[in-house]
């Protein structure tokens, strides 16, 4: 009789646990759904099932379709690199042109790689755009290992970047890119990068990495998201991220003993581009040419090999 009572009790407890698990799963789904409503467009990925090794977040504008198409055909194409999954998504705001909204909706439905919210798309909202990407990773893709923020006018060597990240073997509190040390605010009103003393009174910025391309471990993404509202807003997104890092006491560091991130446009050569991570001011047609040349010459030897 006691054994039957125990079996009955055990059966009830199993049902209760299953019911609690079902409730928790539903609760999580409801929370995710409520967070989804803040976004106009979201990419088609479930990071819980297929966590990426590297998520590339590319700041873009509604009128930059040619650049996005070139990236989709080259370094932004979803692929496995040494068995590690790499995915690319584009960060966009909105414009006042109704045709832009229609075009972006069509593009998002076709490629499923756009993240968008309803702030105005402008250079001075780049911090909002970048934080939108940070928020998306924190909510929907915290299972990834690394995140890279970059721009549409960049060449990115995802193969060499992946190789260096694996060699570095740093999965936490890691932030790298083109290091900017002791940079000073530009007080000239005519400058694109003008920052008033009211916006930022100090004479130097904390260490940060150029917004042309920086890479961080995903735990840092969540930490930045969690403290970002307590950091004074500044329109220069790379400086704002640097302010967040300073508050978190995370120091940007070099990825490699030799320079791999470049602020300027690097003259193309096959051997050189195999050993850099980024080059700036690359036009869409140039990107397609560079990539094709690199693909064709995979078996060619370079002096450093």
- Mean pLDDT along residues 91-100: 94
Residue 246 class from Cβ within 10 Å (0-12 exposed, 13-18 middle, 19+ buried)? middle
pTM for the model stands at 0.87
Q: Give the torsion through C-alpha atoms of 36, 154, 75, 300, to 10 deg.
A: -170
Average pLDDT, the chain: 90
| Dist CA 188 CA 197 (whole Å) | 11
Categorize the per-residue pLDDT at 174 as very low, low, confident or very high, splitting at 50, 70 and 90: very high
pLDDT above 90 covers a percentage of the chain that reads 83
Contacts of 144 (CB under 8 A, 6+ apart): 47, 51, 52, 53, 54, 55, 137, 218
- 9-40 pLDDT tens trace: 444 554 444 444 444 334 333 344 344 458 99
The CATH number of 39-297 is 3.90.550.50
SS3 state of residue 176: strand
Strand-pair category, 84-94 with 146-151: unpaired
CA 182 from chain centre, in angstroms, equals 25
- Residue range 243-265, pLDDT digits in tens: 999 999 999 999 999 999 999 99
Report whether 273 contacts 290 (CB < 8 A).
yes
pLDDT of 304: 62
Phi, psi of 28 (to 5 degrees): -60, -45
Lowest mean pLDDT among 7-11, 143-147, 284-288: 7-11
Least confident of 36-50, 158-172, 245-259: 36-50
Angle between helices 65-73 and 284-296 (to 10 degrees): 10
Number of C-beta neighbours around residue 3 at 10 A: 7
Rounded to an integer, the average pLDDT of 280-288 is: 98
């Amino acid at each position: 009789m006691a054994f039957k009572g125990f079996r009955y009790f055990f059966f009830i407890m199993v049902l209760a646990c299953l019911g609690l698990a079902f409730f928790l799963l539903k609760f999580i789904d409801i929370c995710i759904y409520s967070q989804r409503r803040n976004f106009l467009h979201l990419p088609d990925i479930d990071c819980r099932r297929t966590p990426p090794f590297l998520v590339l977040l590319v700041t873009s504008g509604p009128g930059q379709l040619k650049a996005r198409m070139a990236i989709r055909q080259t370094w932004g194409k979803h692929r496995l690199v040494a068995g590690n999954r790499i995915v690319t998504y584009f960060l966009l705001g909105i414009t006042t042109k109704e045709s832009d909204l229609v075009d972006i909706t069509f593009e998002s439905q076709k490629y499923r790689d756009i993240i968008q919210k309803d702030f105005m798309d402008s250079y001075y909202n780049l911090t909002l755009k970048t934080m939108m990407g940070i928020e998306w990773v924190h909510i929907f893709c915290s299972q990834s290992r690394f995140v890279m923020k970059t721009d549409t006018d960049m060449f990115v060597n995802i193969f060499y970047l992946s190789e260096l990240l694996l060699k570095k073997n740093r999965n936490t509190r890691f932030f790298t890119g083109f290091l900017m040390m002791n940079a000073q605010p530009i007080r000239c009103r005519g400058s694109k990068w003008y920052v008033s003393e009211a916006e930022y009174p100090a004479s130097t910025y904390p260490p940060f990495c150029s917004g042309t391309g920086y890479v961080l471990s995903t735990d840092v993404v969540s930490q930045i998201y969690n403290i970002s509202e307590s950091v004074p807003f500044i329109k220069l997104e790379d400086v704002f991220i640097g302010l967040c890092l300073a508050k978190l006491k995370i120091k940007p560091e070099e990825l490699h003993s030799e320079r791999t991130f470049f602020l300027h446009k690097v003259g193309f050569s096959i051997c050189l581009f195999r050993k850099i991570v980024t080059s700036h001011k690359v036009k869409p047609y140039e990107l397609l040419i560079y990539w094709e040349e690199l693909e064709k010459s995979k078996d060619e030897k370079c002096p450093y090999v």
